[in-house]
């Protein structure tokens, strides 16, 4: 399914991400030391995704917490996330989300140009109890913006924006494509594969080891909670011959003795489980599958899901996986990246070794110790070419301590 995709992202003032930009085309793998901003980059993508929701402000306050999003040390009281949205044979639009210390939000939408003043559509929204000194609807803005909706409470945001879009078709096109791209971002910080005995010891249930209530599923939900529903949809919507191909891919991931992935209904009705049938053995249920097996079913499910994404973000997908399984994971990620951009974070040298084009795919996150701010660096293609053949891949080069030699000077 073709649609708008996120082609570039810029973040300013978000914890260690003081001022970073990242091009997003194909597969992008971000690596670096602990505490250098990789997970914050993932969170920035989730904040951008939530910006398309009417209840954006309350959710950000509840889930992320405004004070915890500011740059470390209080160096900046303003934060901004900017994304470029592109389509095949179409103009690139730009969306910028800005907020300050007291949860005031401004959004700017328009054509992606070097001069941000040309972004024409201004939207201001805040919580009903924290109005700011914003422009009234229709009032000209000093920087050349065409119009502003004024300060709108979150629960009236969609209505206010829709009323203005009908009057300004060009800005309306930019806004609609940006909104679609934001909604189609998929962010997975990990899957809840914790063993059932461990979660019960903590008096909670694991989202992936408990059968969910059957509901429509076009893609994988947060923490993989609807894995059984997704595979139920895949089985129901895939012809027999094509589904046999899917089982061949499952056998590549989980072992040659896999016969089927089953989604039986549970006693009492309304719930479905996922289980894997191995040749000559009783099926293994989701409660008993290993962490890695569940994760691999998630990744394959995302590949087979009939959905459109503008960007897929995975935080350390190599967790729980055997080195041999990483080979198949990287191939799955490359296949997904042929449809839409894929952003991945990792600490795995083995995963980096499996990348076929590290000069294009690897981004190194470094922390400037003096300013406590993140830099994003790509290997220098010519310098990397002189070293890479000596090792099994980029991971081997990094493990040997030679990564600084292929990175540009800060």
The tens digit of pLDDT for each residue in 270-311 reads 899 999 999 999 999 999 999 999 999 999 999 999 899 999
Answer yes or no: pTM beyond 0.85. Answer: yes
Neighbours of 307 (CB within 10 A): 14
Same domain, 213 and 135: no
Same domain, 262 and 356: no
Q: How many domains does the chain have?
A: 2
Same domain, 153 and 44: yes
What's the distance, CA 133 to chain centroid?
Answer: 33
Which of 43-57, 213-227, 280-294, 356-370 is predicted least confidently?
A: 43-57
Identify the domain containing residue 300 by its residue range: 192-307
Write the CATH number for 139.
3.40.50.300
Q: What is the DSSP string of 15-60?
A: TTEEEEEEE-SSEEEEEE-TTSSHHHHHHHHHHHHHTTSTTHHHHI
305 — alpha (psi -120 to 50), left (phi > 0) or beta?
beta
Same domain, 90 and 204: no
Closest CA to 191 of 270, 265, 300: 300
Same domain, 295 and 360: no
The tens digit of pLDDT for each residue in 89-102 reads 677 888 888 877 65
The tens digit of pLDDT for each residue in 143-170 reads 333 334 434 444 444 444 444 444 445 5
């Amino acid at each position: 399914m073709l649609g708008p995709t996120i082609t570039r992202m810029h973040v300013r003032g978000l914890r260690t991400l003081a001022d970073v930009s990242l091009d997003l085309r194909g597969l992008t793998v971000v690596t670096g030391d602990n505490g250098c901003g990789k997970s914050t980059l993932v969170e920035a993508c989730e904040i951008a995704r939530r910006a398309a929701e009417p209840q954006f402000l309350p959710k950000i306050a509840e889930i992320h917490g405004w004070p915890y999003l500011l740059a470390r040390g209080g160096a900046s009281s303003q934060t901004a996330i900017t994304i470029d949205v592109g389509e095949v044979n179409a103009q690139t639009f730009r969306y910028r989300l800005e907020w300050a210390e007291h949860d005031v939000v401004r959004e700017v939408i328009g054509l992606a140009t070097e001069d941000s003043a040309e972004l024409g559509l201004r939207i201001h929204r805040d919580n009903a109890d924290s109005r700011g000194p914003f422009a009234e609807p229709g009032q000209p803005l000093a920087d050349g913006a065409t119009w502003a909706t004024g300060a709108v409470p979150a629960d009236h945001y969609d209505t206010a924006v829709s009323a203005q879009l009908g009057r300004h078709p060009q800005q309306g096109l930019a806004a609609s494509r940006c909104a679609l791209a934001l909604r189609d971002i998929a962010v997975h910080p990990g899957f809840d594969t914790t063993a059932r005995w461990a979660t019960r010891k903590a008096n909670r249930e694991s989202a992936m080891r408990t059968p969910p209530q059957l509901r429509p599923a076009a893609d994988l939900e947060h923490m993989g909670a609807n894995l059984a529903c997704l595979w139920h949809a895949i089985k129901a919507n895939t012809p027999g011959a094509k589904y046999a191909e899917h089982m061949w891919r499952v056998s590549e991931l989980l072992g040659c003795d896999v016969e089927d992935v089953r989604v039986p209904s549970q006693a009492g009705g309304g719930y479905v489980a996922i289980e894997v049938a191995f040749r000559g053995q009783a099926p293994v249920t989701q409660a008993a599958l290993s962490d890695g097996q569940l994760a691999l079913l998630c990744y394959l499910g995302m590949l087979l899901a009939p959905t459109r994404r503008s960007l897929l973000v995975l935080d350390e997908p190599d967790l729980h996986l055997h080195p041999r399984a990483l080979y198949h994971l990287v191939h799955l990620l490359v296949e997904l990246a042929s449809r839409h951009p894929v952003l991945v974070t990792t600490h795995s040298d083995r995963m980096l070794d499996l990348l076929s084009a590290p000069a294009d795919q690897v981004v190194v996150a470094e922390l400037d110790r003096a300013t406590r701010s993140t830099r994003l660096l790509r290997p220098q293609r010519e310098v990397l070419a002189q070293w890479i053949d000596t090792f099994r891949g980029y991971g081997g080069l990094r493990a040997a301590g030679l990564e600084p030699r292929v990175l540009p000077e800060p």
